[in-house]
Amino acid sequence: MSLHDEVELLRTIPLFANIEPSKLKLLAFTSERLTFRQGQDLCRQGDMGDAAFIIIDGEADVLVENGGKLTSVAKAGKHSVVGEIAILCDVPRTATVRALSDVTVLRISKELFFRLVREFPSMGLAIMRELAARLDRTTSQLTRALGRITE
């Protein structure tokens, strides 16, 4: 894929909507594109993480281990960011992310992630919005689950 096409593709990702095309070239150069086959893991709970992923195509399952069994707690689709908790909080991966179909991602190293957020506060805001929305959904699921336990 040409650099021009790569930049055009990055522009379609809402997270980068407010970043100038000239800066997106930097991102196209410094990020890495990876493809995972259906059933492969983008990352595994408990591993150390040094990158976040932006899903360009496909869908993945977010699985958390519980008593030796993996429970699905969310789905991550096109344009979702996954794996940013480990690099933000310096903790091991909090979930396993498994490809439900063939999944293409942009791998953003920890260093690049922090550089992007510092240079582009609008990207930081978009990530905050995504984290806040996921926290909202997870809290709702938790409340429903606790309701079922105390019924």
Which element (helix H / strand E) includes 123?
A: helix 121-150
* Encoded tokens for 92: 């091991």
20 is an interface residue for a second copy by CB under 8 A: no
112 is an interface residue for a second copy by CB under 8 A: no
Interacting residues with a second copy between 92 and 111 (CB under 8 A): 94-95
Q: Residues 1, 20, 22, 66: which binds a second copy (CB under 8 A)? A: 66
How many Å from the N-terminal Cα to the C-terminal Cα in the chain? 56
34 is an interface residue for a second copy by CB under 8 A: no
* Encoded tokens for 78: 């096109």
91 is an interface residue for a second copy by CB under 8 A: yes
3 is an interface residue for a second copy by CB under 8 A: no
Question: What's the CA gap between 141 and 5, in Å, rounded?
Answer: 40
CB of 8 to a second copy, least distance (A): 26
- What DSSP letter does each residue of 45-105 carry, written as one string? TTS---EEEEEEES-EEEEEEETTEEEEEEEE-TT-EESHHHHHHT-S-SSEEEESS-EEE
Q: Name the residue nearer to a second copy (CB basis): 17 or 132.
A: 132
Residue ranges that bind a second copy, judged by CB under 8 A:
64-67, 71, 73, 84-85, 88-89, 91, 94-95, 114, 117-119, 121-122, 124-125, 127-129, 131-136, 138-149
